[in-house]
Structure 1
Amino acid sequence: MMLNRLVELGLDVKEARFYLTVLELGEATVRQIAEAAGVSRTNAYDILDRLARRGLVSQLEVGPTHRTMVVATDPQRLVDEWEERGRRLESIVPQLRAMHHKTGVRPRVRYYEGVEGIQTVLYGTLHLSSSLLGILSMRDLLTVPGKTVMDHYVSRRAETGVRLRVIRSREKETEDMWPTDPRALREARYAPTGRVFTMTMFLGGDTVALISSRRENFALTIESPEYAELQRNMFEILWEASLPTIDPVSRPR
């Protein structure tokens, strides 16, 4: 409907109805337009003033009595108006971008509950970066989301070419599994004795993913360049203090 289209273009309902009436009548007095458009004469003069300022209508005097009549200008004026708005907007976009970059972007935090939420966050780490950092609580991961899920995750990570540097606690190991293995794109180290991890953390790009134990049963992702950089620096400090696991290729037979 034409009325709705004009409202979408920035006219209010009464302005749109008034403007369409002027177009239909061709040339009319304010009273005639007000009656046909269904608006009061007082409102009609206010609407006329607003439309005239936008260049959509004009007034002229006709006949020997110089009667004031209202006529619509070429509707192309609507197109010209929007093009002008576009040019004005384009002129300030660089300033808006500068303000946006100056103030930065607020961190995005997402909270997930239960086993399904934990799996969502776990598999989501495969899309963060081609290289992940991880601090894993093995015993807790083998409980939730469970060994079957973890075996599948490990396979998917290698298949998709995502490398992993990971630190684990000896105290949280339940099996001699997933050591350093170039074929699996994994380099693993054990944290210093006494450093026991009760949660799992993955870090990729600007996102930190946290997975709790079964007791608290939740997962969390934090998308923040500053927080990710903090965790990355802390990981590297711990990495330097940790001991390598044994590459299965180099194990004695």
Structure 2
Amino acid sequence: MTGLLRQLGLSKHGAAIYLALLHHGEGTVAEVARNSRLLRPLVYRALPDLVDRGLVGKVLKGKRTCYAALSPERLEDAWEETGRTFREALPKLAEFYATQAGNPKVVVLKGHKGIVAVYEDILRTLPRGGLFYRYSSGANQRKQHYYVPRNYRERRDAKRLERYVITNKMTASRKSPRLERSMKTIPTGSDLFVYNVTQLIYGPKVAFVDYNTETAVIIENPIIAKFQERLFKLLYQRL
């Protein structure tokens, strides 16, 4: 809930105070500090913003000033304002993005989650019925389920993604035939997959996965991707 309030523009401390007031009811600064687990100076600094936003009101009880949370429905206005601000900023953001469109974008990902992110990116990038190309490393086959997102195969098949695969004969022998997968193997004497590295070409992107160090690199550039795609097709035709 704190994350949602922060998306609506509240500070970290402001969100904690507002939630504490909703949960515990009105209170003095000392009580709010205790319930929100914040120091008093932080509460003093955050309260004026909450009052200005109409989320917190002052309640006078004799000589004491208490603070009370007002209706969360007021947050709806903040949400609509955030949406308007975003819509106004979107054309400018798109303009910034367009100026970088010609430059390759390179992302380096580390660890198990980094490799999983590559396969997740394939699902996000390709349209329904899309096609990707893969040099498939045989050394990682025993851990293949470990390196793909949850329900990856179901989601891939639901989008009807087709793939062309070049691998070694041992890996190919472990694969059952599938209509959406075309596979060829390289000659036994020139096995390129002892390095335990996989390359994937999909849409405007090329990804390299090093399973030895659990490092992945995604390069987004249509020209580089097309060049790698043509090299793949040339090798595929020769096998």
Q: TM-score, normalised by structure 2?
A: 0.50
Q: How does 1:14-163 map to 2 (within 5 A)?
A: 105-129=102-126, 130-143=130-143, 146=146, 149=148, 152-163=151-162
Share of identical aligned residues, percent? 22
The answer to whether the 8 A contact 2:133-2:201 is kept is: yes
Structure-2 separation of matches of 1:220 and 1:237: 23
Of residues 178, 181, 185, the one that matches 2:178 is 181
Q: 1:177 to 1:144 in 2, by over 3 A?
A: closer
Unpaired runs of 5+ residues, structure 2, are: 1-94
Which residue identity lines up with residue 205 of structure 1 in the other structure? G
Give the CA RMSD over aligned residues.
2.8
Structure-2 separation of matches of 1:114 and 1:104: 28
Secondary structure class of the residue paired with 2:146: helix
Q: How does 1:186-201 map to 2 (within 5 A)?
A: 186-193=181-188, 194-197=190-193, 198-201=196-199
Which residue identity lines up with residue 174 of structure 2 in the other structure? M
The answer to whether the 8 A contact 1:136-1:200 is kept is: yes
Deviation sequence 1:195-221 (CA, Å, 0-9, x none): 3223111111110111112x2211111
Structure-1 separation of matches of 2:150 and 2:192: 23
Deviation sequence 1:122-145 (CA, Å, 0-9, x none): 221122321111111032253366
Structure-1 separation of matches of 2:144 and 2:213: 11
Unpaired runs of 5+ residues, structure 1, are: 1-96, 243-253
Count of matched residue positions in the alignment of Structure 1 and Structure 2: 137
Deviation sequence 1:106-162 (CA, Å, 0-9, x none): 100000000011101122112232111111103225336638x48943332112211
Q: CA deviation at 1:224?
A: 1.0
Secondary structure class of the residue paired with 1:203: strand
Q: 1:179 to 1:241 in 2, by over 3 A?
A: farther
